[in-house]
Structure 1
């Protein structure tokens, strides 16, 4: 599908691309690998210098460490690994809420614990995340993931433990929880709708935003399709597909969902390379936003590298996203701005706003971009 076809597809969905606001159009060519790694280093070094204490094991900081570990794997720079070890040891490789937690946000830390286990060994590193997810496997409840963020937080550790232990019960439970989020979550009237907006291939953040006659809408009455919420979704699919093969019964569904999301997102990209905070309404806090854009770049870059997305079609989309973030959101000293705060819906964004999860998403995207360059 070429750029013109993508634009036509977006128009058919009733969603429209929007020009950037007084920002130069970025290049459609990817920089070199060395240039990508240099920007990643600048951003990550700034974050680490500003956060000598690596922080808690909750979802926001855990998402940063997903990016930090991706940076380590891409660069081989030991200090990034050491920083992750210090963070994990500070929490004794434990989970917020303890091993009995079923809250997906609390499982995000397990992604880095699994990284460290794979690199350094030590059964203690994954004891808590494995125990917690095993408890969920052995239970009957499958409706825990009622918000879209949960997909990114918890699907990857389920997928990875299934592969590590050669135990498909982790994959089955993961799919059942995913299926509930996608198709079975009730709307505000109690009707079963799920969070996937099938007509657009995008996702609502939770049932408060699904279209049921009483759901929240933008000031102009359009749907609320939150950028970062959809970023969580596409990133989750990419991370799962790194582990679950297409030959698996559910592999094609994960792959087709990523493809459909990418096809919908491409024509919605702003001319400055970013995506708006509300993908359905560019006037709803319109302007560049880094966290959603970085997650989209991560998912699209993975899709290109894995052969799931046509390189000629999507590489310019990816290049504009990466180059736009570097030109607009990355300060000379490495501060990453334009990150929307913690929330569940679009909100105001400005160049002075940063966030640990935004830095993590940027580093994750950078690692995938670097893998496509030379």
Structure 2
């Protein structure tokens, strides 16, 4: 892949890859066995290296949002593979954290809620109350003491609400799951009200994309608006995870599906010829380096939409195949997923030998839905 980045070969390589990937998508869809093997290899590498720093990443606290995003994908893979080793890995995390949400950034911060998605999924599998109670009590407190902070970026306690687009992956699915599990609609009502507030604030109606936060409203990058790939990937995947918990036909379902479809239409237009989404979605020519976290979340979102009858397969299937092929090109022989952009809030850089756990979570989420597409 290093040849892609030699200036003299860039245009020709992109054109060639585009032609090849389109033909591949039409005639060489991946096999179930190939997808399964690839996910297993990546999941095994990540578990083996989970407690070790290296490859551009440090070891994060078990409740950190980075790991929370990994657990979301790992849980999907554990359910698909039906191998107890993966469920046991996640249970071990829960035992270590005593099934508590994070606290580093405060009770209200969406990042600290992410790990709750895994806890609630394990509760569904086992029915063990200890997996449910801490998360439920945490959210009950917020229900009775909702934040009064503003969504504006430079106001006090501003991240006590979802005023950055990443938050729409981290917290809303926890609230939606709680309603589905308990039957208590208060959780869902709170989530929808906050989701609408965030969308009204950050969603660009012309581009059908989300700004990362208010600080990007007036910024440009090489003359284009700044719409960060992984940021919008957080939203697109988060929408899929939340909608999965809702009853079709309800007002909440219709509201979120409408946003999801608008994003899907625009994101299809922005996929590059080689199957990735550029780190700056409107500035692909300035960010030719592959990036796998945004691409993974988008690929997952599209495959999920097809599987659930929300997107037309004929219109969107090729988007999925191209995205999956692009991700496969970034997996090393031993199972490390490379080209994951490091922690950040805007377009940047990625490298073939650097990874991060949230990128693996996106990869496993995508692979799980693509596997289902082939069933």
**2: CA distance between counterparts of 1:237 and 1:311?**
19
CA distance in 2, matches of 1:299, 1:35: 20
- Report the alpha carbon displacement of residue 140 of structure 1 after superposing the two structures with TM: 4.0
- From 96, 106, 130, give the equivalent of 2:102: 96
Aligned to 1:38: 37
- Cα shift at 1:21: 7.8
| Aligned length in residues | 341
The TM-score, its normalising length taken from structure 1, stands at 0.87
Structure that is richer in helix per residue:
2
Check conservation: 2:105, 2:112, Cα contact below 8 A.
no
Q: Which residue of 2 aligns with 1:283?
A: 285
Residues of 1 paired with 2:125 and 2:29: CA distance? 30
Could you tell me which runs of 5 or more consecutive residues in structure 2 were left unpaired when the two chains were aligned: 1-11, 53-58, 152-160
1:61 aligns with 2:60: no
Alignment of 1:167-316 (within 5 A): 167-183=184-200, 194-210=201-217, 215-218=218-221, 220-316=222-318
Shift of 1:19: 8.2
CA distance in 1, matches of 2:232, 2:312: 21
8 Å contact from structure 2 (residues 272, 284) kept in 1: no
**1:169 CA displacement:** 0.9
CA distance in 1, matches of 2:64, 2:262: 31
Q: Does the CA contact (< 8 Å) of 1:66 and 1:111 recur in 2?
A: yes
- CA distance in structure 1 between the aligned counterparts of 2:215 and 2:127, rounded to whole angstroms: 43
Q: CA RMSD in A?
A: 1.9
> What is the rounded CA distance, in whole Å, between the counterparts of 2:13 and 2:203 in structure 1?
27
* Alpha-carbon distance change, 283 to 131 in structure 1, aligned in 2, over 3 angstroms: same
Q: Of the two structures, which has the highest relative contact order with CA contacts closer than 8 Å and spacing of 6 or more?
A: 1
Residue 221 of structure 1, CA deviation: 2.1
Give the SS at the match of 1:20.
Answer: helix
**1:97-134: CA deviations, max 9, x gaps?**
18970100000000000011111121111212111111
Q: Helix, strand or coil for the counterpart of 1:283?
A: helix
1:82 alignment counterpart = 88
2:21 counterpart of 1:20: no
> Which residue of 141, 144, 148 corresponds with 1:138?
144
Look up the match of 1:191.
Answer: none
Would you identify which runs of 4 or more consecutive aligned residues in structure 1 move more than 4 Å? 21-24, 52-55
| Structure 1: distance between partners of 2:318 and 2:276 | 13
> Is the Cα contact below 8 Å between 1:114 and 1:125 reproduced in 2?
yes
Shift of 1:52: 4.7
Q: Taking structure 2 as the reference length, what is the TM-score of the superposition?
A: 0.87
**Contact 1:19–1:271, Cα closer than 8 Å, also in 2:** no
